[in-house]
């Protein structure tokens, strides 16, 4: 074969090899670029979208928890944009056809799960934000927590899978480049060896240039693309050398571009990963802070819930019919509210007429203006109880200084005021007792003088009557003997003018009535002295029947015009240890109440009722009953009959302290009991039990 032919064959072979190398190199380069484009255009955005979806879902759940912790349903509204962004991210991943069916299906499943979770969680957490303690809602919240954990794990798994897909694309691109080099090297080696064999047969002159090309190919196959290929001549070998140089430069350029792109990609991935890690760390820090705040709020709620004072937080407009934002156990105890009563009608429903008292409305108005106010007032509650309450109202401001709520702290002063009134009453009774003892002492002496003189006058008048009888006998004898008729007539005239017969019959009656009045005064004085007992400090054995009799004497003016008193005392009644003065006051209060009840029953009919008082032994105690035939106690008042300041009497006639004082004396000072039986229109009987030991 001619050399020219061989040269042409060699040239054709070399040209075909070069063309094959270029084609293979271009094909493999396109494939590598396709992998790289796929990683940039599909996998990387999908991975970023999955990471953002996972973070958005955690923020949505954190918003739900914030709504429950702070009782602020507006936090739920802020989750809507996050849910829409989350849905768009998952929809973009699910709609991608280049990621593969596994990741599209996983993204679609996560999207469906998130939509279902948001649909179920929003009403449940809204109910919890409004303080709904329903057990079903609590159970649903627990299930939603488990669903949240599962969905969050699925989103994390999707993100990790897309990260692996991105890494696989980058690995595939690297392997493609390696295969490109290997195939290029193989083709070049085959072509060069074939051309080398032909060229050796053509001319040994080409051996040096071919050796250069072979050496260059060896360096390139070893990865050295920096060394230049220097071959002289413009023949086919020179053209081949130029082709080698161009191929070397192309490969060098592609390698540089690929390295720069890999560097940018690694930097961008590292930067975005750092940003996500920083956001996750911030989120963990916020969650830890919220947990600390939640713990502090729980401790504060427990502390406020255990204090005796009532605490309630309301809207600034207290008169608006709206449930309080918070009410502790002390508030519910003060107003006798059941645990489930949320007061939908507002604070006004606590008071009579369902209207806020004016003084409380004024205090709330000052609080709305930014001033704290403390008032102490007697309030009539909706259940007709009258309470004395110290009410402190203060504004609550937000971070911007705006008044968002009012806090009210209230203390029930009813018991303390009643005790103060009781102490004042005791002081008055002690003063009255001392005064009565002094008056009794002062009156007793002149009463004794009067009584002694009246008895003396009675005895002396009896003696005078005997003397006058003797004188009448002498006068009759003189008249019979007609002796001294003038003197006898004068005596008769004096006797007729003095109405001696009338005086003889009426003077003893007058003296007796005067003595009876003196004895009555003395009895009242003794009763006043025995009733008060101002100096008693400890219980002492006392005659209950005598104490009741003494009290009836003192109270006679209260009942004598409307009622008769019937007593029935056990003659064998033992002495009972008690504070006689306090017990007398109890009986006095009950007798006065009975007289008033009978007066209301008989009205202006001039009728009379009956007050019945009995004392009997009953087991280990003495039972005292004080009954009347009055109007009876109304049904609505029976539950509050012993409450301080509670009275069914008109204003100015009753203080509401009598039965409260009686109950306190019997139960607290004597360890006894006091109850009552009543029938409307028939009367009431109070039953006192005093222990005998």
CA distances from 540 to 435, 457, 543, 551 (A): 23, 43, 10, 18
Q: What is the mean pLDDT of residues 495-518?
A: 71
Q: What is the mean pLDDT of residues 582-591?
A: 88
Pairing type for strands 563-569 and 540-542 reads unpaired
Which of 84-88, 307-311, 413-417, 614-618 shows the lowest mean pLDDT across its residues? 413-417
Q: 617: pLDDT confidence band, cut at 50, 70 and 90?
A: very high
Parse the chain into domains and list their residue ranges: 3-205, 307-412, 415-535, 537-693
Q: 531: pLDDT confidence band, cut at 50, 70 and 90?
A: low
CB proximity list for 239: less than 8 A, separation 6 or greater: none
With a cut of 90, say whether residue 564 has pLDDT above it.
Answer: yes
More confident residue, 615 or 636: 615
Pairing type for strands 563-569 and 609-618 reads parallel
With a cut of 70, say whether residue 157 has pLDDT above it.
Answer: yes
Q: What is the mean pLDDT of residues 613-632?
A: 93
pLDDT at 180: 63
The CATH number given to 307-412 is 3.30.450.20
Q: What is the mean pLDDT of residues 576-593?
A: 88
Q: 621: pLDDT confidence band, cut at 50, 70 and 90?
A: very high
Q: 674: pLDDT confidence band, cut at 50, 70 and 90?
A: very high
CA distance 105 to 84: 19
pLDDT tens by residue, 273-291: 888 888 888 888 888 888 8
pLDDT > 90 in the chain, percent = 9
pLDDT tens by residue, 179-226: 666 776 676 677 677 666 666 666 665 667 677 777 777 777 777 767
Q: 133: pLDDT confidence band, cut at 50, 70 and 90?
A: low
Q: 651: pLDDT confidence band, cut at 50, 70 and 90?
A: very low
Q: What is the mean pLDDT of residues 168-173?
A: 66
Which of 27-41, 326-340, 493-507, 661-675 shows the lowest mean pLDDT across its residues? 27-41
Which of 152-166, 298-312, 498-512, 643-657 shows the lowest mean pLDDT across its residues? 643-657
Handedness of CA 659, 660, 662, 667 (dihedral sign): positive
CA distance 594 to 592: 5
Q: Domain spanning 537-693: which CATH class is it, in words?
A: alpha beta
CA distance 141 to 147: 10
Decide: 455 and 508 in contact? Cβ < 8 Å: no
pLDDT tens by residue, 219-277: 777 777 677 776 766 666 677 777 777 787 788 788 888 888 888 888 888 888 888 88
With a cut of 90, say whether residue 41 has pLDDT above it.
Answer: no
User: 10 Å Cβ neighbour count for 525?
Assistant: 19
pLDDT at 687: 95
CA distance 248 to 254: 10
pLDDT at 384: 62
Handedness of CA 137, 138, 139, 141 (dihedral sign): positive
pLDDT at 673: 94
Please provide residue 569's backbone torsions phi and psi, each rounded to the nearest 5 degrees. -110, 135
pLDDT tens by residue, 47-94: 777 777 778 778 777 777 777 777 766 767 777 787 777 777 777 777
- Written as one string, the DSSP assignment of 428-454 is HHHHHHHHHHHHHHHHHHHHHHHHHHH
pLDDT at 524: 64
CA distance 594 to 563: 9
With a cut of 70, say whether residue 107 has pLDDT above it.
Answer: yes
With a cut of 60, say whether residue 518 has pLDDT above it.
Answer: yes
pLDDT at 625: 95
From the list 94, 109, 105, the residue with the least C-alpha distance to 46 is 94
Kindly indicate whether the domain formed by 3-205 is annotated with CATH number 1.20.120.1730.
Answer: yes
More confident residue, 470 or 444: 470
CB proximity list for 69: less than 8 A, separation 6 or greater: 290, 293, 294, 297
Which of 198-202, 342-346, 630-634 shows the lowest mean pLDDT across its residues? 198-202
What does pLDDT average to over the chain? 75
pLDDT at 622: 94
Q: Spell out the alpha helix ranges (H) of 70-134.
A: 74-77, 79-95, 101-129
Pairing type for strands 576-578 and 403-412 reads unpaired
Q: 117: pLDDT confidence band, cut at 50, 70 and 90?
A: confident
Which of 237-246, 357-366, 377-386, 648-657 shows the lowest mean pLDDT across its residues? 648-657
Inter-axis angle of helices 44-69 and 135-202, nearest 10: 170
Q: What is the pTM of this model?
A: 0.37
pLDDT > 70 in the chain, percent = 69
CB proximity list for 170: less than 8 A, separation 6 or greater: 39, 262, 265
With a cut of 50, say whether residue 139 has pLDDT above it.
Answer: yes
More confident residue, 442 or 144: 144
Q: What is the mean pLDDT of residues 379-395?
A: 74
């Amino acid at each position: 074969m001619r050399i020219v032919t061989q040269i042409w064959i060699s040239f054709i072979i070399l040209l075909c090899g070069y063309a094959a190398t270029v084609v293979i190199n271009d094909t493999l380069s396109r494939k590598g670029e396709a992998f790289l484009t796929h990683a940039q255009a599909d996998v990387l955005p999908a991975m970023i979208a999955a990471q953002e979806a996972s973070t958005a879902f955690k923020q949505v759940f954190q918003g739900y928890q914030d709504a429950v912790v702070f009782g602020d349903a507006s936090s739920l509204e802020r989750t809507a944009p996050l849910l829409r962004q989350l849905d768009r991210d998952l929809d973009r991943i699910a709609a991608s056809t280049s990621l593969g069916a596994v990741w599209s299906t996983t993204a679609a499943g996560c999207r469906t799960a998130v939509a279902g979770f948001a649909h179920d969680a929003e009403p449940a957490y809204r109910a919890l934000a409004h303080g709904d303690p329903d057990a079903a809602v609590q159970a649903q919240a627990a299930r939603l927590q488990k669903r949240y954990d599962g969905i969050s794990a699925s989103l994390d798994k999707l993100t990790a899978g897309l990260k692996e897909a991105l890494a696989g694309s980058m690995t595939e691109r690297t392997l493609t480049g390696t295969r490109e080099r290997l195939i290029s090297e193989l083709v070049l080696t085959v072509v060069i060896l074939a051309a080398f064999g032909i060229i050796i047969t053509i001319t040994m002159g080409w051996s040096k240039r071919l050796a250069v090309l072979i050496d260059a190919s060896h360096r390139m196959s070893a990865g050295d693309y920096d060394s230049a290929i220097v071959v002289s001549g413009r023949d086919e070998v020179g053209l081949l050398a130029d082709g080698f140089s161009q191929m070397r430069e192309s490969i060098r350029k592609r390698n540089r571009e690929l390295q720069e792109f890999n560097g940018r990609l690694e930097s961008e991935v590292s930067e975005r990963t750092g940003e996500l890690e920083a956001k996750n760390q911030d989120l963990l820090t916020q969650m830890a802070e919220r947990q600390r705040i939640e713990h502090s709020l729980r401790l504060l709620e427990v502390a406020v819930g255990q204090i005796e004072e009532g605490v309630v937080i309301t809207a600034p407009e207290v008169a608006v019919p709206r449930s309080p934002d918070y009410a502790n156990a002390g508030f519910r105890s003060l107003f006798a509210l059941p645990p489930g009563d949320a007061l939908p009608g507002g604070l006004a429903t606590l008071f009579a007429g369902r209207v806020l008292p004016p003084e409380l409305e004024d205090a709330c108005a000052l609080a709305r203006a930014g001033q704290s106010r403390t008032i102490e007032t007697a309030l009539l509650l909706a259940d007709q109880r009258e309470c004395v309450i110290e009410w402190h109202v203060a504004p609550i401001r937000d971070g911007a200084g705006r008044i968002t709520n009012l806090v009210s702290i209230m203390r029930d002063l009813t018991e303390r005021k009643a005790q103060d009134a009781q102490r004042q009453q005791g002081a008055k009774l002690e003063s009255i007792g001392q005064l009565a003892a002094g008056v009794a002492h002062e009156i007793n002496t002149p009463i004794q003088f009067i009584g002694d003189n009246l008895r003396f006058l009675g005895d002396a008048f009896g003696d005078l009557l005997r003397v006058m009888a003797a004188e009448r006998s002498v006068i009759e004898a003189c008249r019979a003997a007609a002796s001294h008729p003038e003197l006898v007539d004068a005596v008769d005239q004096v006797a007729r003018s003095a109405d001696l017969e009338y005086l003889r019959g009426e003077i003893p009656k007058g003296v007796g009535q005067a003595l009876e009045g003196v004895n009555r005064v003395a009895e009242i004085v003794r009763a006043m002295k025995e009733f008060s007992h101002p100096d008693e400090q400890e219980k002492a054995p006392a005659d209950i029947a005598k104490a009741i009799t003494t009290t009836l004497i003192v109270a006679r003016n209260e009942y004598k015009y409307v009622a008769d008193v019937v007593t029935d005392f056990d003659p064998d009644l033992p002495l009972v240890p008690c504070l006689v003065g306090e017990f007398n006051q109890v009986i006095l209060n009950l007798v006065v109440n009975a007289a008033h009840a009978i007066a209301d029953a008989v009205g202006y009919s001039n009728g009379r009722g009956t007050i019945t008082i009995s004392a009997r032994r009953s087991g280990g105690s003495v039972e005292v009953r004080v009954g009347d035939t009055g109007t009876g106690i109304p049904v609505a008042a029976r539950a509050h009959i012993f409450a301080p300041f509670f009275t069914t009497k008109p204003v100015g006639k009753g203080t509401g302290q009598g039965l409260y004082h009686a109950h306190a004396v019997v139960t607290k000072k004597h360890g006894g009991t006091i109850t009552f039986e009543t029938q409307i229109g028939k009367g009431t009987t109070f039953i006192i039990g005093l222990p005998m030991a």
